[in-house]
């Protein structure tokens, strides 16, 4: 602020000094010009109040003029003397060689003198701009030229040439430039200037004289000194800050960073500091090592607990879902009177869910073998192209006709010259797993399967690309984690423990391969994996959902079944087939909310907990404030005590667990 104030003060002082100098210079120039013109005006005034001059106008005595007036050319310091009569007609002149024009004073200029009697003005003549000082001629008894009419007119003319300007420069101690009326005047910092306009007898400017003089009051030295002071101050400030930062603030910052983030880099740098800070760095390092050991142990224990909890939750749900269908339809076969066609239908459901259950158990066993290092590749010689074509044809016929998918196989541009050595079973499992996932999560578009032999690097590159739902960016880091399935509407629909990709990745790593993927929500996913001419992957556990046509019966009581799984809903239908209930289905939580709000005839709701769009907890949270009297029973595959407490707190009136018991179901319906 001090330096800014000094700059402001110096700048203001400089401007004021310059302005004062300009005003003073203009005043002096005007005064000097007046003094310079005064002798001419005095001599002119004396000559034009002279009786003999009046007689000359009448007689036009040339000898008198030459003896008296012509000899005064040097007295006037003029380049031209001219006389005119009272009719404004030219009589006689006395010129110097610089002016050759005979008569150039216009009558209008003499009319101007009729008013002012004595005056000075400027004219443009062929020789240049001239200064004309003129006066009217009167008798000696009319000194003020106001008693009589003019007897004639007398003019003293000076040409504004180099001599004229040089004379003015000596008088005014300045440099003079003659400028045209439209010439601009540049402003210079160390030059003061004054402009004198050259006006004709009508007051119109015909040129101007620019007077310039050096402005000797300089402030550069003061500014330079001030700059030097500022530079020294800044250098001092930088040095002070540098050493303060280095010796105090930097070590304190490292201490804070070590305390807040336990930064190893901060601790290492702190150890290199001098004095006590180095000792503090050693203490931090010892303490950090102890903490890291404790943190690793804690993380390992927490990961074990989280993995166990995740495993149990997913295992409970995925096993109870097929078991619900198996037990339910088995009970229907045993305890109800059904025809042969329905019996076969129920047995097919039981068989398919049994296969799903076996697949889940197989995944668990395979994962357990991988964890215990009991999986090893079984190498054999195979024909790569035959193996891949076989997998392609097998999967192609399994694609549901309801899906508008183009399934493409793109073979390697460089075919294998010989059979390859690899584990054929596991390679097929890997390919089937990735292709099955691509088909599961793609409803329309294409699924591309490509392989390429890289002889230079001795690798086989595989690519599986789809236009499915894609994987959210936040979930991509957990794609290969065990039991960490991405939870969304599609994953809930297709089911599974989330072990397929984990097993595949484990197989690839066992054989020294690599796998990676790219995915974008709504655009699809692309998986890339390579094997060093030996590749192993596991066969996925394919869960094929059974789709049945929904039934609807009329009855006195209306029950809403919120169930996204077709088989479980079919089981409800078959269980209630002989009862007088009207069954309404909601395939997701949002549909259940909408039906309950819009249909006042709903008497009971059987609400599945795990559903797309809105889950059971979210749905009951929206229904209960609007219809608090409506009984809502939770049906869930989760059966832990924590889940039961959560269901009760959520606002459900009661709950039943999967697999469903027909007797328990009817007890619950009769109760509410």
Indicate the pTM of the whole model. Answer: 0.37
Query: Are residues 56 and 194 located together in one domain of the fold?
Result: yes
Domain region containing 436: 380-532
Does 144 fall in a domain? yes
CATH number at 663 reads 3.40.50.2300
Using the predicted structure, report yes or no on whether residue 255 has a pLDDT greater than 50. Answer: yes
**pLDDT score of 492:** 59
* N- to C-terminal Cα separation, the chain: 83
Q: Which of 497, 532, 567 is the last residue of a domain?
A: 532
> Given the DSSP bridges, would you call strands 90-95 and 604-608 parallel, antiparallel or unpaired?
unpaired
Least confident of 226-240, 456-470, 546-560, 628-642: 546-560
The mean pLDDT of 433-459, rounded to a whole number, is 89
The model's pLDDT over 104-149, given as tens digits with 9 standing for 90+, comes to 999 999 999 999 999 999 999 999 999 999 999 999 999 899 999 9
What CA–CA distance (Å, rounded) separates 536 from 427?
A: 5
Using only the alpha carbons of the chain, give its radius of gyration.
Answer: 56
Average pLDDT, the chain: 83
Residue ranges of alpha helices (H) inside 173-275 are 220-244, 250-261, 264-271
Using the predicted structure, report yes or no on whether residue 513 has a pLDDT greater than 90. Answer: no
Report whether 44 contacts 154 (CB < 8 A).
yes
Q: Is the dihedral of CA 481, 482, 488, 494 positive or negative?
A: positive
Query: Are residues 523 and 564 located together in one domain of the fold?
Result: no
**pLDDT score of 203:** 92
Query: Are residues 38 and 83 located together in one domain of the fold?
Result: yes
Using the predicted structure, report yes or no on whether residue 307 has a pLDDT greater than 70. Answer: no
Does 424 fall in a domain? yes
Query: Are residues 522 and 562 located together in one domain of the fold?
Result: no
Query: Are residues 456 and 593 located together in one domain of the fold?
Result: no
Using the predicted structure, report yes or no on whether residue 596 has a pLDDT greater than 90. Answer: yes
Does 105 fall in a domain? yes
Query: Are residues 604 and 527 located together in one domain of the fold?
Result: no
The model's pLDDT over 398-438, given as tens digits with 9 standing for 90+, comes to 888 888 889 999 998 888 778 888 877 778 888 888 888 88
Query: Are residues 591 and 519 located together in one domain of the fold?
Result: no
Long-range Cβ contacts of 625-634 (<8 Å, 24+ apart): 626/596, 626/597, 627/596, 627/597, 630/596, 630/602, 630/603, 630/604, 630/605, 631/603, 631/604, 631/605, 631/672, 632/605, 632/607, 633/604, 633/605, 633/606, 633/607, 633/668, 633/672, 634/607, 634/609
Report whether 96 contacts 80 (CB < 8 A).
yes
Query: Are residues 384 and 527 located together in one domain of the fold?
Result: yes
Does 375 fall in a domain? no
Long-range Cβ contacts of 168-173 (<8 Å, 24+ apart): 168/33, 168/36, 168/209, 171/32, 171/36, 172/28, 172/29, 172/32, 172/33, 172/211, 173/213
**pLDDT score of 300:** 73
Query: Are residues 528 and 561 located together in one domain of the fold?
Result: no
Does 194 fall in a domain? yes
Using the predicted structure, report yes or no on whether residue 499 has a pLDDT greater than 80. Answer: no
The mean pLDDT of 328-351, rounded to a whole number, is 84
Query: Are residues 496 and 587 located together in one domain of the fold?
Result: no
**pLDDT score of 280:** 80
Does 111 fall in a domain? yes
Give every CB contact of residue 522 below 8 A, 6+ residues apart in sequence. 469, 470
**pLDDT score of 399:** 86
**At which residue do the structure tokens 């869960």 appear?**
543
The first and second tokens of residue 301, run together, are 């224990």
Query: Are residues 438 and 577 located together in one domain of the fold?
Result: no
- The pLDDT confidence band at residue 93, using thresholds 50, 70 and 90, is very high
Q: Which of 472, 498, 532 is the last residue of a domain?
A: 532
**pLDDT score of 538:** 37
What CA–CA distance (Å, rounded) separates 430 from 440?
A: 15
**pLDDT score of 623:** 93
Cα-Cα-Cα-Cα torsion 455, 457, 458, 459, nearest 10 degrees, comes to -100
Which strands sit side by side in the sheet containing 632-636, from one edge to the other? 581-586, 557-562, 604-608, 632-636, 654-657
The model's pLDDT over 170-212, given as tens digits with 9 standing for 90+, comes to 988 899 999 988 888 887 777 888 999 999 999 999 999 999 9
The mean pLDDT of 55-77, rounded to a whole number, is 91
- Name 408's bridge partners: 448
Query: Are residues 527 and 584 located together in one domain of the fold?
Result: no
CA nearest 86: which of 52, 61, 113?
113
Question: What value, to the nearest 5°, has the Cα angle with vertex 65 and ends 63 and 70?
Answer: 115
**% of the chain with per-residue pLDDT over 90:** 32
Half-sphere exposure of 512 (CA within 13 A, CB side): 8
- The pLDDT confidence band at residue 491, using thresholds 50, 70 and 90, is low
Does 344 fall in a domain? no
Tell me the CA distances in angstroms from 242 to 235, 254, 265, 281, one per residue in order. Answer: 10, 16, 21, 21
- The pLDDT confidence band at residue 496, using thresholds 50, 70 and 90, is low
**pLDDT score of 204:** 94
CATH number at 518 reads 3.30.565.10
Most confident range (mean pLDDT) of 61-70, 422-431, 493-502 is 61-70
The first and second tokens of residue 460, run together, are 């086989």
The mean pLDDT of 661-666, rounded to a whole number, is 83
Using the predicted structure, report yes or no on whether residue 560 has a pLDDT greater than 90. Answer: yes
CATH number at 76 reads 3.30.450.220
What CA–CA distance (Å, rounded) separates 645 from 657?
A: 14
The mean pLDDT of 644-653, rounded to a whole number, is 85
Higher-pLDDT residue of 455 and 529 is: 529
Q: Which of 164, 199, 214 is the last residue of a domain?
A: 214
**% of the chain with per-residue pLDDT over 70:** 88
Does 389 fall in a domain? yes
Domain count, the chain: 3
Using the predicted structure, report yes or no on whether residue 353 has a pLDDT greater than 80. Answer: no
**pLDDT score of 502:** 81
Most confident range (mean pLDDT) of 71-75, 148-152, 278-282 is 148-152
What CA–CA distance (Å, rounded) separates 55 from 583?
A: 144
């Amino acid at each position: 602020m001090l330096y800014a104030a000094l700059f402001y003060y110096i700048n203001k002082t400089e401007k004021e000094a310059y302005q004062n100098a300009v005003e003073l210079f203009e005043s002096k120039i005007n005064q000097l010009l007046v003094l310079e013109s005064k002798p001419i005006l005095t001599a002119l005034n004396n000559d034009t109040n002279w009786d003999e001059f009046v007689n000359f106008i009448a007689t036009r005595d040339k000898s008198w003029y030459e003896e008296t007036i012509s000899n005064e050319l040097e007295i006037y310091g003029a380049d031209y003397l001219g006389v005119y009569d009272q009719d404004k007609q030219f009589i006689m002149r006395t010129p110097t060689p610089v002016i050759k024009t005979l008569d150039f004073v216009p009558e209008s200029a003499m009319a101007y003198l009729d008013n002012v009697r004595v005056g000075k003005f400027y004219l443009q003549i062929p020789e240049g701009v001239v200064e004309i000082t003129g006066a009217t001629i009167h008798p000696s008894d009319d000194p003020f030229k106001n008693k009589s009419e003019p007897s004639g007119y007398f003019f003293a003319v000076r040409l504004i040439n180099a001599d004229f300007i040089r004379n003015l420069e000596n008088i005014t101690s300045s440099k003079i430039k003659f400028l045209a009326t439209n010439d601009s005047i540049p402003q210079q910092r160390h030059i003061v200037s004054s402009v004198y306009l050259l006006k004709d007898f009508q007051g119109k400017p015909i040129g101007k004289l620019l007077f310039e003089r050096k402005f000797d009051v300089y402030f550069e030295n003061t500014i330079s000194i001030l700059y030097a002071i500022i530079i020294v101050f800044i250098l001092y400030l930088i040095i002070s800050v540098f050493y303060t930062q280095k010796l105090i603030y930097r070590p304190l910052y490292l201490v804070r960073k070590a305390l807040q983030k336990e930064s190893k880099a901060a601790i290492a740098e702190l150890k290199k500091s001098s004095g006590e800070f180095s000792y503090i760095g050693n203490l931090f390092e010892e303490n950090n090592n102890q903490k890291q050991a404790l943190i690793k142990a804690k993380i390992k224990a927490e990961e074990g607990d989280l993995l166990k909890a995740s495993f149990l939750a997913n295992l409970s749900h995925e096993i109870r879902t097929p078991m619900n269908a198996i037990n339910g339809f088995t009970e229907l076969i045993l305890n109800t009177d059904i025809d042969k066609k329905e019996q076969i239908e129920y047995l097919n459901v039981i068989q398919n869910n049994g296969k799903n259950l076996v697949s889940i158990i197989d995944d668990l066993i395979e994962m357990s073998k991988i964890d215990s290092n009991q999986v090893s590749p079984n190498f054999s010689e195979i024909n790569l192209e035959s193996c891949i074509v076989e997998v392609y044809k097998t999967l192609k016929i399994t694609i549901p006709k309801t899906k508008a998918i183009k399934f493409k196989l793109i073979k390697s541009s460089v075919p294998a010259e010989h059979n390859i050595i690899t584990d054929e079973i596991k390679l097929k499992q890997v390919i089937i797993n990735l292709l099955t996932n691509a088909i599961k999560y793609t409803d329309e578009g294409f699924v591309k399967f490509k392989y390429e032999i890289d002889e230079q690097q001795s690798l086989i590159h595989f690519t599986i690309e789809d236009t499915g739902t894609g994987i959210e960016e936040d979930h991509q880091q957990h794609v290969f984690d065990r039991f960490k399935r991405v939870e969304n509407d599609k994953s809930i629909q297709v089911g599974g423990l989330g072990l397929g990709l984990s097993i595949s990745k484990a197989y690839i790593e066992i054989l020294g391969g690599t796998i990676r993927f790219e995915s974008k929500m709504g655009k699809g996913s692309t998986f890339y994996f390579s094997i060093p001419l030996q590749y192993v992957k596991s066969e996925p556990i394919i869960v094929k959902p059974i789709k049945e046509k929904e039934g609807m019966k009329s009855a006195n009581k209306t029950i809403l079944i919120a169930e996204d799984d077709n088989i479980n809903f079919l089981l409800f239908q078959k269980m209630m087939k002989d009862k007088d209930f009207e069954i309404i289905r909601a395939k997701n939580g949002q549909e259940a909310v909408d039906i309950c709000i819009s249909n006042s005839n709903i008497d009971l709701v059987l609400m599945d907990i795990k559903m797309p769009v809105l889950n059971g907890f979210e749905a009951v949270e929206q229904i209960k404030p609007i219809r608090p009297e409506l009984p809502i029973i939770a049906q869930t595959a989760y059966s832990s005590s924590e889940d039961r407490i959560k269901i009760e707190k959520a606002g459900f009136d009661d709950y039943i667990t999967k697999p469903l018991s027909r007797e328990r179901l009817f007890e619950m319906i009769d109760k509410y």
